Chain A
Amino acid sequence: MADFGFRLSKSSTIDLDKIDTSVYDRLCKTDPDVKTCMACGSCSATCTAAPFSGMSMRKVILALQRGQDVRPMLSKCMLCGKCIMVCPRGINTRHIILSICRQYD
């Protein structure tokens, strides 16, 4: 391969036809409430870990919908449950985090 000093950049475009959402699809079966998330962000705003670690429950759900690996983010969760208290849709976010972890077992 010739070296020109530059190369094709990787595209950041999310191609919905190419992503693998199987983790999210399985999660929807065990925890159908996850589908009612409206990305309000209150879970992330109240999260104990968020300001220091990059954890965000809103981003975890979105990343699953976009077929991305959420394990690095989830590993920062301390399972304190504050996010359940604020979710306006009553989603059991703590349970969802445990369900996601089970998906990767």
Chain B
Amino acid sequence: MKDNIVIIGGGVAGMEAAKQLLSLGYTPILVERNSQLGGHVAGWYRLFPDMTPAKDIIVPLRLDVARANVFTGTRVQSITPERESYTIVLDNGISIEARAVVFATGFSLFDASKKEEYGYGVYDHVITNSDLEAWFCGKEDKRIPSDPKAVGFVHCVGSRDLKAGNSQCSKVCCTTAIKQAIEMKEKFPDAEIYCFYMDLRLFGKKYEDFYINAQRNFGVHFIRGRVSEVGETIDGRLQVKAEDTLSGKPLKVQLDSLVLMSGMSCNEGVRNLARQARLDVDDDGFLKSSNNIYGILNSNRKGVFYAGACTGTKTVPETLAEARAVAVEVHNYLKNG
């Protein structure tokens, strides 16, 4: 078909782009490798800064895109550039000739076990931000004690970390840590909550208010210093070391649970497709936009567009805005070539 549009990735970026393209009169093909649409956001409980339930975003979007051609549990096996189009073969055997392709392939959550000094997967009570959201959503997790006296959050796990291969700031973790700190304090009012940060990067609307709220109304302790090492005590608690950089002294504290704010890494799974489609990959591993100011949605090739965290770390509202904009980009391209 002449005006086929394939959207790779069925997270919030892919779904929102599909929704907008539907409203413009197209019937995009949405390909998602997982069995359900929703991506990372579907695994989240509430979103900052207004504590919006994640399902309030995901559930309507799933309904909105029902009229598109949706393939879940399906991977793109290959993508081959043709003269005026791309041949995309799915792992279910279907082959599509598409005039426009939208990469909405998102990010991978940084594997926290790579920071061996934090003991994720080694110590009993070390979890990630994503584990905590799953627990908020109702999933059982024995690593979170029933009556914690002290809980810590480590910012920048795998972000701003050249050694871990990620120089970038993941943008969302500072605010997520504050959100989760507040949520833990709501659940366990008597627990002391510590956030270990290098900088607090609270750039978005209402984020700073969120921080002040955590300080004033929830008494969250903010300690400027990156956790250097975690150990386990005789009673199974965690001994955490950091420098209290504001006083210039080493600091230690025992915690019942430690939450690692795993950052956003590039989605390694996209590398292969990018190579096949001859797309530029940036030195941070994310897909490279044609220009970082006015061409974020554009690739180095005609007919291939980007939306969301496939080009770098993004918040949910940024991703949604890009997804809406990419629909217009695709529309203009199909109309005017």
- Report how far A59 CA is from B194 CA in the complex, Å: 19
> Which residues of A lie under 8 Å from residue B215 when comparing CB positions?
35-36, 38
CB-CB contacts below 8 Å: B227-266 with A: 244, 246-247, 249-254
Known: A39-B224, A65-B221. A14 touches B244 (CB 8 A): yes
By beta carbon, the residue of chain A nearest B212 is A36
The interface bits of chain B over 158-200 (1 if a CB of A lies within 8 angstroms of the residue's CB, else 0) are 0000000000000000000000000000000000001000001
Known: A62-B246, A65-B221. A13 touches B212 (CB 8 A): no
Across the interface, A36 reaches (CB within 8 A) one of B216, B244, B251, namely: B216
> How many residues does chain A have at the interface if contact means C-beta atoms less than 8 Å apart?
20
B251 touches A33 (CB 8 A): no
B249 touches A14 (CB 8 A): yes
- Report how far A36 CA is from B214 CA in the complex, Å: 9
A32 touches B216 (CB 8 A): yes
- Report how far A57 CA is from B219 CA in the complex, Å: 20
Across the interface, B250 reaches (CB within 8 A) one of A12, A28, A38, A59, namely: A12
CB-CB contacts below 8 Å: B141-165 with A: none
The interface bits of chain A over 2-14 (1 if a CB of B lies within 8 angstroms of the residue's CB, else 0) are 0000000000111
- Report how far A98 CA is from B212 CA in the complex, Å: 23
- Report how far A13 CA is from B248 CA in the complex, Å: 10
Identify whether the interface residues of B are mostly helix, strand, loop, or mixed: strand
Count of A-B contacts with CB under 8 A?
A: 44
Interface size range of chain B in the complex: 10 to 19
> Which residues of A lie under 8 Å from residue B194 when comparing CB positions?
16
By beta carbon, the residue of chain A nearest B218 is A35
B253 touches A12 (CB 8 A): no
- Report how far A17 CA is from B252 CA in the complex, Å: 8
A residues lining the B interface (CB < 8 Å): 12-17, 28, 32-33, 35-36, 38-39, 58-59, 62-63, 65-66, 89
Give 28 CB contacts A-B under 8 Å. A12-B249, A13-B250, A13-B251, A13-B252, A14-B247, A14-B251, A14-B252, A15-B251, A15-B252, A15-B253, A16-B194, A16-B251, A16-B252, A16-B253, A17-B253, A32-B216, A33-B216, A35-B215, A35-B216, A36-B216, A38-B200, A39-B224, A39-B246, A58-B246, A62-B247, A63-B247, A66-B244, A66-B247
